[in-house]
Amino acid sequence: MSAKPIITRFAPSPTGFLHMGGARTALFNHLFTKKLEGKVILRIEDTDKIRSTPEYEASIIDSLKWLNISYDQTFKQSEREEIYKKYLKKLIDEGKAYISKETQAVEDPAIGKNGKDNSDFRSEVIRFKNPGKKVTFTDLIRGDITFDTTELKDFVIAKSLEEPLYHLAVAVDDFEMEITHVVRGDDHISNTPRQILIQEAIGAPRPIYAHLPIILATDKSKLSKRKHGEAVSLNFYRDKGYIPEAIINFLALLGWNPGTDQELFSIGELEKIFDISKVQKGGAVFNTEKLDWINRQYIAKMTNDEFVTQTEKYIPKWLNTSSVQFKKILPLIKEKIICWSDIQKLFDREGELSFIKDISDYPASLLLWKKNPDPKASSKHLEAVRTLIEDIQDNNDSEFTVEVIKNAIWAYVETNGKGDVLWPLRVALTGKERSPDPFISSSILGKAETLKRIDLALTKL
């Protein structure tokens, strides 16, 4: 097989949105194949006609495009039923499968990918005639794995000639599409012996298998939608505004290590260095803190123009992105967010930057410094700072900078105490306990609005 071109397949079922485990499988197929200059096939496995929907299929394809995970060909199993029918007839004719009369609901793990399905009782099904032998296959990640297939008995491979089930369709497709390597999650290990038996029965060569380690939650339990909700879905992170390149970077490190200290990789770099022999056997912990850190690194290295383009739909409509004010706010936003949706939180009514639009009403007591809660002291310091700021010579707000403001009032601050002076000034400008320091807030607001808000605070006091 080494002389053949490498052909792999990513084979999602359109019965739900793409989850992070599926996205990692798609990525590892992509990286493994591109490194070896092979071909990747996207195969939509929609034999489950009840649960498969066009909406889920479209979403999966859109998600792969968003992640920049490419493939060379696309197939849908629902469009290949005549091919499966041909193989089913051949197996029956050769005595390797038979039509089985059923007297009760079929309870067979071969019914579908994920276990039993008794919702569609058939009085007749097609069963594979199991030779009952030991099957050993070599896994690129786990080494040799042996199964005794006797316990599988004669498993179901189709509900009828027109209704193939998962294992039959997979074995036929892998043969017809000349798949050389099957890279998939380790929840499929138990499926492998059935598929090998079918491969042998139809005269198909055995592909090389590589089963990726399970993805674990931080409590070391299996990451699943039932237990962990929408946090397993790729759309959850996409909707929150994570960067696709950062998600790719994060997924690549789930169960794989480059063997160096480097942690940030473009997909192009990963395509060059990915080595499947460095994929670990043990479970990979899905650490959202690591994802957040990686995403912040990608945000930090963006130019301001790139940042503005990416954040356009998250910035409030009232904030002019071409204004001097926005240019001053930009570094603050970049510093404070993990993902794009955090921008909206910053400008929400209770958000740290909501003061920029307008100042909410606040009690006069908030202006008092805890170590000197005397209204007269706060008034005195605000009046002094007001005079110093009013004396600043500026022709426009672009000259009303943090440095200029700080130079104007710092001597007074050092003489009279940082907390005593800066606390009432912070509250006067923002109306909040938590906000940027008063030099930044004042620069963002501009000289006229700064003086106006200090006057309001003095009136309160």
Is 336 a residue whose pLDDT tops 80?
A: yes
- Band of residue 239 on the pLDDT scale cut at 50, 70, 90: very high
What is the token pair recorded at 186?
């380790």
What pLDDT digit, counting tens, does each position of 357-385 carry? 999 899 999 999 999 999 999 999 999 99
Least confident of 96-110, 263-277, 426-440: 96-110
What's the whole-number average pLDDT of the chain?
93
Is 137 a residue whose pLDDT tops 90?
A: yes
Whether 28 and 212 have beta carbons less than 8 Å apart is answered as yes
Domain ranges, ordered by start, for the chain: 225-300, 304-346, 364-460
Q: Does 364-460 match 225-300 at the fold level?
A: no
Q: What angle do CA 155, 158, 164 make, to 5 degrees?
A: 135
Report the C-alpha dihedral over residues 275, 249, 184, 176, rounded to 10 degrees: -80
Looking at residues 120-149, what average pLDDT do you find?
Answer: 94
> Which residues, at least 6 apart from 33, have a Cβ–Cβ distance to it below 8 Å?
6, 7, 8, 39, 40, 181
Looking at residues 455-459, what average pLDDT do you find?
Answer: 97
Separation between Cα atoms, residue 214 and residue 301, nearest integer Å: 32
Helix (H, G, I), strand (E, B) or coil at 256: strand
Looking at residues 269-276, what average pLDDT do you find?
Answer: 96
Domain 364-460, CATH? 1.10.10.350
- Band of residue 231 on the pLDDT scale cut at 50, 70, 90: confident
Separation between Cα atoms, residue 395 and residue 81, nearest integer Å: 76
> Which residues, at least 6 apart from 322, have a Cβ–Cβ distance to it below 8 Å?
none
Is 126 a residue whose pLDDT tops 60?
A: yes
The residue type of 30 is: H
Task: Tell which residue, 44, 57, 9, has the closest CA to residue 30.
Answer: 9
Is 196 a residue whose pLDDT tops 90?
A: yes
Looking at residues 93-119, what average pLDDT do you find?
Answer: 68
Q: What is the largest CA-CA distance in the chain?
A: 100
CATH H superfamily, domain 225-300: Glutamyl-trna Synthetase; Domain 2 (1.10.1160.10)
> Do strands 143-148 and 39-44 pair parallel, antiparallel, or not at all (unpaired)?
unpaired
What pLDDT digit, counting tens, does each position of 428-444 carry? 999 998 899 999 999 99
Looking at residues 135-162, what average pLDDT do you find?
Answer: 96
What pLDDT digit, counting tens, does each position of 2-41 carry? 568 999 999 999 999 999 999 999 999 999 999 999 999 9
- Band of residue 152 on the pLDDT scale cut at 50, 70, 90: very high
Task: Tell which residue, 192, 214, 187, has the closest CA to residue 279.
Answer: 214
Whether 443 and 401 have beta carbons less than 8 Å apart is answered as yes
Q: Give the residue with greater pLDDT, 270 vs 393.
A: 270
Separation between Cα atoms, residue 367 and residue 89, nearest integer Å: 85
Backbone angles phi, psi at 164, to 5 degrees: -70, 155
pLDDT of residue 360: 84
Whether 97 and 90 have beta carbons less than 8 Å apart is answered as no
Helix (H, G, I), strand (E, B) or coil at 390: helix
- Indicate the pTM of the whole model: 0.89
Neighbours of 268 (CB within 10 A): 9
Separation between Cα atoms, residue 34 and residue 183, nearest integer Å: 13
Is 237 a residue whose pLDDT tops 60?
A: yes
Whether 402 and 408 have beta carbons less than 8 Å apart is answered as no
> Which residues, at least 6 apart from 448, have a Cβ–Cβ distance to it below 8 Å?
none
Backbone angles phi, psi at 427, to 5 degrees: -65, -40
> Which residues, at least 6 apart from 455, have a Cβ–Cβ distance to it below 8 Å?
386
pLDDT of residue 395: 75
